[in-house]
Chain A
Amino acid sequence: METFLQQLINGFSLGAIYALIALGYTMVYGVLRLINFAHGDVYMLGAFAGYFIANALELDANPSIFGTIVVTIGSMGICACIGVLIERFAYRPVRSHSRLTSLITAIGVSLLLEYGGQVVFGATPRFFPQMIRSRTYAFGGVQITNQSLLIIIVAVVVMFGLEFVVHRTKIGKAMRATSFNLSVAKLMGINTDFVIAFTFALGSALAAAGGVMVALAIPRIDPLMGLMTGLKAFVAAVLGGIGSIPGAMVGGVLIGLMETWLGATAYSTYRDAVAFSVLILILLFRPAGIMGTATTEKV
């Protein structure tokens, strides 16, 4: 029972990361029907931005919660700008072209960030400074580190925040309108360009938060770190039902749980295959994902 609870907590913590990144995929897909392949790399940039800010603040020597908050917010801000730039200079010019064109552009941006990262940061991994001293709390036989706790809290807060933005604010209403029908939203006087840019900013900021959170728990960062994590986060988004915010959360946690559970068994080497196997199985029975709604074409 205790091992089970322990796995549950570890799984939640890993899943929360996937969820944070998946939210960005889901939002962009919701608005543009674009799989933003570069999103995982924005997450990588988030970790690197955090790394540089933390080093500039010398947080390694004097760790603090306040410093961590500054690093996270700083990194989110930087990545929000990067997200907007990517949208403006890569995606907007191809928006009127076919969806395949956008998808390939996204792949191009992804490669650019990954290998550009290698050129700028070098291919060798770097080690993220310890911004907060690791501490382990024990509840009965179950242990949780303060980093894991932080990750889970941040993810939950972000999800509620996002739900609030999307369903209770004016810009959220504009986002929903744009995702429903871009051209009609434009006709209704919504500045869809702004809405899309905002979506990218928001999604990228969330990915950056994810990057910093991961780096707290697993300090090894490198330019290709976004590849697999990004892919799995995307799978999480599809699993939950792409376009659905709670779906991204559910999908992320589900994959996180499954991976930690498998990681503890003899089949740990199959870990990377789990996300995909579950995805295929679920899509076969629920083609629109767990919380997605199936759309039927009008004939």
Chain B
Amino acid sequence: MIDASSLLQTRSVTKSFGGITAVKTFTMDVARGALYGLIGPNGAGKTTVFNLLTGVYDTTAGEIHFDGARIDGKKPYAITRLGIARTFQNIRLFPDLTVLENVMAARHLRSRQTLADAVLGTTRHHREEQESRERAMSLLKLFDLDQLADERSTSLPYGSQRRLEIARALATDPKLLLLDEPAAGMNSQESFDLMHLIRRLRDEFALTILLVEHNMKVVMGICETIQVMDYGEAIAIGTPREIQKNRKVIEAYLGGG
């Protein structure tokens, strides 16, 4: 049942809030190296799926497997350590920190120094801080943010904040990257650039990317597999071409039926 070629698998995952079932027996297989899109009308439960995958919410039923380990019930930080990183639909940068510090903070989980190293200012401490800074800077360069390294993160323009969130997520050394509406609020040029960036990231970092997005151009343009949700359930899965022709999907988006 658990397929080793898949990096992420959910099996009949259900989440209810009180009487409302936000996600119903949701099953998904994301292959290693895939660029996988999750779409659906507003309120279909896409972000809830993200929150279940990252441990922000506990599942009501079902199982989630990642890279050979069962991860449902684990704490968010533990899941991130196993190699799932995410961005947020409503950008959540650390407001007190600079652009560089936001990315460096995400390196903390890979830090091997102890608190004693920091307090005593040992060689290991200095070496690690240096490494973390360099790694963060190189990520910022990749996202064209290195010039803004010392700016306050929340003073950045919207598009840059979105890119910074992706850079920050990458700093955790993930195997799987979850992007929650990365193109939201971007103009067509920006989202075009973003598409290329996402594809490039997947190839350069050997990532698997799971994407929730409303911008159909972006989703259809880069995803190899698309899964469609409506009212908490998966209603279709296939290639962009298949999805575009799927009657259920068209009905879900146009309403009626």
Chain B residues whose C-beta falls within 8 Å of the C-beta of A299 in the assembled complex: 47, 51, 56, 88
Across the two chains, which residue of chain B brings its CB closest to A298? Answer: B90
Expressed in whole angstroms, the minimum distance between the Cβ of A239 and any Cβ of chain B is 25
User: B86 → chain A, closest Cβ, in Å?
Assistant: 10
- Which residues of chain A have C-beta atoms less than 8 A from B88's C-beta? 299
How far apart sit A202 and B189, CA to CA, in the bound complex (Å)?
Answer: 56
Closest to A297 in B: B56
Q: How far is the CA of A299 from the CA of B90 in the complex (A)?
A: 8
The distance in angstroms between the C-alpha atoms of A299 and B88, with both chains bound, is 8
A20 to chain B, nearest CB (A): 34
Docked CA distance A299–B89 (Å): 8
What is the CB-to-nearest-CB distance from B244 to chain A, in angstroms, rounded to a whole number?
30
Q: Please give, as numbers and ranges, the residues of chain A lying within 8 Å of B47 by CB-CB distance.
A: 299
Output the nearest chain A residue to B180 by Cβ-Cβ distance: A299
Residues of A within 8 A of B51 (CB): 299
Least distance between A97 CB and chain B CB atoms (Å): 15
CB distance from A21 to the nearest CB of B (A): 34
A285 to chain B: closest CB distance in Å?
A: 18
Alpha-carbon gap, A299 to B15, bound state (A): 15
Least distance between A35 CB and chain B CB atoms (Å): 23
A283 to B243, CA, bound (A): 50
Within 8 A of B (CB), among A280-299: 299
**Distance in Å: Cβ of B38 to nearest Cβ of chain A:** 16
In B24-73, the 8 Å CB interface with A consists of 47, 51, 56
The residue on A at minimum CB distance from B88 is A299
Q: How far is the CB of B185 from chain A (nearest CB, A)?
A: 18
Q: In angstroms, how far is the closest chain A Cβ from the Cβ of B92? A: 8
CB-nearest residue of chain A to B56: A299
| Nearest chain B CB to A295 CB, angstrom units | 13
* A299 to B56 Cα, complex, angstroms: 8
Interface string of A255-299 (1 = CB under 8 A from B): 000000000000000000000000000000000000000000001
CA distance A299 to B54 in the complex (A): 11
Measured CB to CB, the closest approach of chain A to B177, in angstroms, equals: 17
B16 to chain A, nearest CB (A): 14
How far is A299 from B51 in the complex, measured between Cα atoms in Å? 8
Q: Mark A163-177, 1 if CB is under 8 A from B, else 0.
A: 000000000000000
B53 to chain A, nearest CB (A): 12
Q: Interface 1/0s, chain B 77-108, versus A by CB < 8 A?
A: 00000000000100000000000000000000
Closest to B47 in A: A299
Give, as a whole number of angstroms, the nearest-CB distance from B181 to chain A: 13
A299, B76: Cα distance in complex, Å = 13
Instruction: Please give the distance in Å from B43's CB to the nearest CB on chain A.
Output: 13
Q: How far is the CB of A100 from the nearest CB of chain B, in Å?
A: 14
Measured CB to CB, the closest approach of chain A to B52, in angstroms, equals 11
> How distant is A210 from chain B, measured CB to nearest CB, in Å?
37
Whole-angstrom distance between the alpha carbons of A282 and B51 in the complex? 29
CB distance from B176 to the nearest CB of A (A): 18
Smallest CB separation, A155 vs chain B (Å)? 34
Q: What separation, in Å, do the CA atoms of A14 and B173 have in the docked complex?
A: 59
Q: Which residues of A sit under 8 angstroms from B56, Cβ to Cβ? A: 299
4 A-B pairs within 8 Å (CB atoms) are namely A299-B47, A299-B51, A299-B56, A299-B88
Which 4 pairs between the two chains have the least Cβ-Cβ distance? A299-B56, A299-B51, A299-B88, A299-B47
Residues of B within 8 A of A (CB): 47, 51, 56, 88
